[in-house]
Amino acid sequence: MRVHNMLEARLLYKEAEEHKEDNPALSNVIERNIRKIIQLRLKTARDQSLQERIADAMTTYSGSMLFFYVHIVWFCVWILLNTGRVGIAPFDPYPYGLLTMVVSLEAIFLSTFVLISQNLLAKEAGHLADLGLHTGLLTEHELTRVLQMLRAIQDKIGISNDEDSNLADADLEMETKPEDVLAEIKRLQRRAERAPAASRKLK
């Protein structure tokens, strides 16, 4: 028991040390959620394959100012060496066909790396969208149950809604099905797209 108490005290002390720099204006739940999101992102980065890490590294580098400065220096040195004024015979005279070919190949490879990184980001965004949808549906389900419980309590103690308020006719206690919402969005979108065509025919 003494060892157990010492270990538990040690864990509590370690947890307090980790949380001593937390923002006091934020609740513990928010702090915990922030840490969880960071842990998930780090785990996703660790689970990437070698090819994916190379693509991310190349995309990050190609989108930096260092990449821009390196190319400025490279182009200036290349053009200077091919002017013949530094004692070196031009190996790629104007219009710099070799430089154009190298830059074109570089652009192709960089575009490929960017597309790979975008696919990875799109996959991660899809997972986050699924998580957000699941959380939203779970929240809607729980709120519906809470409203049903409140209506039962209201009926039990004999409280009636104000007829002038919108709560009297609100369908807040109905379970919202995502497939019904998507179908209604598509229906209204098709109707909105057909409306301009119909108005043009009338004119």
Average pLDDT over residues 41-55: 81
Q: What percent of the chain has pLDDT over 90?
A: 11
Q: Label residue 42 by pLDDT band (50, 70, 90).
A: confident
Structure tokens belonging to residue 188: 């209204």
- Could you tell me the CA-to-CA distances from 164 to 112, 151, 160, 168, 169 in Å, in that order? 61, 18, 12, 8, 10
pLDDT the model gives residue 101: 93
* Locus of tokens 């996959």: 123
pLDDT the model gives residue 73: 94
Name 175's Cβ contacts closer than 8 Å, sequence gap at least 6: 141, 144
Can you give the C-alpha Rg of the chain in angstroms? 31
Calpha distance 22→27 (Å, rounded): 9
Judged by average pLDDT, the poorest of 73-87, 88-102, 143-157, 169-183 is: 169-183
Average pLDDT over residues 81-105: 87
Q: Half-sphere exposure (CA, 13 Å, Cβ side) for 100?
A: 6
pLDDT the model gives residue 197: 62
pLDDT the model gives residue 84: 79
Tell me the three state secondary structure of residue 177.
coil
Q: Label residue 23 by pLDDT band (50, 70, 90).
A: low
Q: Are 81 and 90 in contact (CB under 8 A)?
A: yes
Calpha distance 78→95 (Å, rounded): 12
Q: What percent of the chain has pLDDT over 70?
A: 79
**In this predicted model, what pLDDT tens digit does every residue of 132-174 receive, in sequence order?**
888 888 888 888 888 888 888 888 888 776 665 555 445 666 6
Average pLDDT over residues 59-79: 91
Residue with the bigger pLDDT between 196 and 6: it is 6
pLDDT the model gives residue 163: 62
